């Protein structure tokens, strides 16, 4: 399952293995604005994600 958590909330799935960067492109989100968590651990954008994996895009917030 693929989830986006932040200002935008969205859940979807993928049918084939692909990189986190490809998933971000498919979802039309900026990679630099999110931290990626695959199966509970942080990963980089070149990590391979399978349909059985749980991938969360956590939006980075800043402010003061």
What is the assigned CATH class of domain 2-59?
A: alpha beta
For the segment 44-56, what is each residue's pLDDT rounded down to a tens digit?
999 999 999 999 9
For the segment 11-60, what is each residue's pLDDT rounded down to a tens digit?
999 999 999 999 999 999 888 899 999 999 999 999 999 999 999 999 99
> Exposed, middle or buried: residue 52 (CB in 10 Å: 0-12, 13-18, 19+)?
exposed
**Predicted pLDDT at 64:** 66
**Predicted pLDDT at 12:** 93
pTM summary value: 0.87
**Predicted pLDDT at 62:** 78
């Amino acid at each position: 399952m693929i989830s986006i958590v932040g200002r935008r909330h969205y859940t979807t799935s993928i049918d084939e293995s692909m990189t986190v960067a490809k998933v971000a492109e498919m979802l039309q989100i900026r990679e630099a604005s999110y931290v990626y968590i695959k199966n509970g651990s942080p990963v980089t954008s070149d990590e391979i994600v399978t349909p059985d994996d749980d991938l969360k895009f956590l939006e980075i917030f800043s402010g003061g």
